[in-house]
């Protein structure tokens, strides 16, 4: 009668998630300025870990055993993840995947809905969110979708360049050597109004 009940899987997952988020929050707080060339590399490491954590919590929330603690923790992780993604998407040299993710979340659209509406593969938005690089045709469709949805949130101080001028895609981890980092180095679509 006096023995404590053993922890179930959901409570263990929540405890592990809380511990992981403690470390991720410290890493987020320690990120350099978004103008720093190391910003995206370090932010991407945190985002990758948080995606894995989010997936584990999503699976736990889908189990047959209800657990309010799991959905509360999942909500917390998603909010912190979205906040960092928004920061990364608005930073110089952000990827199209980051920009698309933040734009569609702000527009209350799912990855599947965006893919269907833009003629993209159903799994492409999730792949781009995880760091994949689109081909030229996919990149053009993504830029058009972002523009149609009102642009990337948090970039009101930026303006879209000529939509007909599509520069080649680059991996954001390999091309951060821009003069002043005023142009979005991943897709060339965002330019500061007062650059220079």
pTM assigned to the model: 0.73
The helix (H) or strand (E) run that includes residue 81 is: helix 68-90
Domain architecture of the chain: domains with CATH: 9-91 (no CATH), 93-196 (1.10.260)
Residue that has been written with the tokens 């590399």 in this structure = 41
- Under a CB-based contact definition with an 8 Å cutoff, are residues 168 and 122 in contact? no
Q: pLDDT tens digits for the chain (196 residues)?
A: 445 444 567 788 899 999 999 999 999 999 999 999 999 999 999 999 999 999 999 998 888 776 899 999 999 999 999 999 999 999 999 999 999 999 999 999 999 999 999 999 999 999 999 999 999 999 999 999 999 999 998 876 554 443 443 443 444 444 443 333 333 444 444 444 443 4
């Amino acid at each position: 009668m006096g023995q404590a009940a053993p922890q179930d899987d959901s409570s263990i997952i929540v405890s592990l998630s809380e511990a992981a988020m403690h470390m991720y929050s410290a890493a987020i707080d320690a990120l350099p300025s978004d103008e720093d060339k190391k910003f995206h590399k370090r932010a991407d490491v945190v985002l990758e870990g948080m995606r894995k954590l989010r997936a584990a919590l999503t699976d736990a929330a889908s189990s047959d055993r209800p657990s309010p603690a799991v959905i509360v923790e999942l909500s917390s992780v998603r909010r912190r993840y979205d906040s960092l993604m928004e920061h990364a998407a608005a930073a110089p040299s952000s990827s199209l995947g980051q920009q698309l993710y933040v734009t569609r979340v702000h527009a209350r659209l799912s990855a599947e809905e965006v893919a269907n509406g833009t003629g993209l593969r159903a799994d492409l938005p999730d792949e781009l969110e995880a760091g994949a690089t689109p081909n030229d045709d996919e990149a053009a469709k993504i830029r058009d979708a972002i523009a149609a949805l009102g642009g990337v949130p948090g970039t009101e101080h930026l303006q879209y360049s000529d939509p007909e001028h599509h520069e080649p895609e680059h991996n954001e981890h390999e091309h951060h050597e821009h003069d002043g980092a005023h142009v979005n180095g991943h897709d060339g679509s965002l330019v500061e109004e007062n650059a220079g």
